[in-house]
Amino acid sequence: MKLCVALDLPTLEENISLAKELKTFDIWLKVGFRSYIRDSRTIIDKLKEINPNFKIFLDLKLYDIPNTMADAAQEISELGIDMFNIHASSGKKAMQTVMDRLSKKEKRPLVLAVTALTSFDDQSFHEIYGTDIKTKASQFAKDAYESGIDGVVCSAFESSMIKTNTSKNFLTLTPGIRPFGEDAGDQKRVATITIAKKELVDFIVVGRPIYQSNNPKSIVERILSEI
Ligand code: C5P
């Protein structure tokens, strides 16, 4: 299991200083909406300068018509990042079109599909999708697997079920991790590292518990030792 630290801080400088503090660790860094919209590829280049071995997950959750998504995926694949994601609810055609486009490249990033956001509880999910999270997440994961996607973003509670329904090599990445019982914030389906391990999760994403702490380095050390 790998730790992926969410760089969701308000400024480029703060994100860079967090990355510098964590530069000796074997971790992934997640660049999301906030940072990428503000700093575009500057943040990616700066992170690679700090430690060329940092792996970067670009969390932009693409959702559009198939051709537009494939165009965007192609541009993303030129950025030098290691993994990005799209929404499984964009449909099999869109997922297949993205993977077809990327297959023409000599080297491509990993692609994950988002099943259900971890900020949904069953009731709020039902209002949009008309079914419960487990049923839909499982269907989305199957669609993604059949479309040639590398794995899914899901909650820790769906990870092992998804692997059983697809393949044990189908990757799962789970946000909403509160390693030591920290405040959940807007996350509804939070899990600990012990649960994530039991559920065979491949990547845990941790944001606020690390960057809001007075000592992010020691939290990362503790997480890595638990992993
Ligand atoms: O601060 P926290 O640990 O809750 O951060 C979780 C990160 O994972 C945020 O950057 C959020 O955008 C992202 N994320 C999520 N749920 C998903 C996909 C991504 O919380 N399904």
**Is 61 an active-site residue?**
yes
The CB of 159 under 6 Å from ligand 1? The reply is: no
The CB of 206 under 6 Å from ligand 1? The reply is: yes
Q: Is the distance from CB of 62 to CB of 85 less than 8 angstroms?
A: yes
Q: How many domains does the chain have?
A: 1
Which three-class secondary structure state does DSSP give residue 192? coil
Q: Which pLDDT tens digit goes with each residue over 88-142?
A: 999 999 999 999 999 999 999 999 999 998 888 899 999 999 999 999 999 999 9
Identify the CATH number of the domain in which residue 98 sits: 3.20.20.70
Task: Indicate if the pLDDT at residue 152 is higher than 90.
Answer: yes
- Which runs of E-coded beta strand occur in the chain? 2-7, 28-32, 55-62, 83-87, 110-114, 151-153, 171-174, 203-206
Mutation choice for ligand 1 from 7, 18, 119, 205, CB with most ligand atoms inside 8 A = 205
Query: What single string gives the DSSP state of each residue in 27-54?
Result: -EEEEEHHHHHHHTHHHHHHHHHH-TT-
Residue 169 has phi, psi (to 5 degrees) of -85, -5
- Ligand 1 centroid to Cα of residue 164, in Å, is 24
Single pTM value for the model: 0.93
Question: What is the extent of the structural domain holding 174?
Answer: 2-226
Name every residue whose Cβ is closer than 8 Å to that of residue 157 and which is 6 or more positions away in sequence. Answer: 189, 191, 195, 199
- Ligand 1 centroid to Cα of residue 106, in Å, is 30
Q: Which pLDDT tens digit goes with each residue over 8-25?
A: 999 999 999 999 999 999
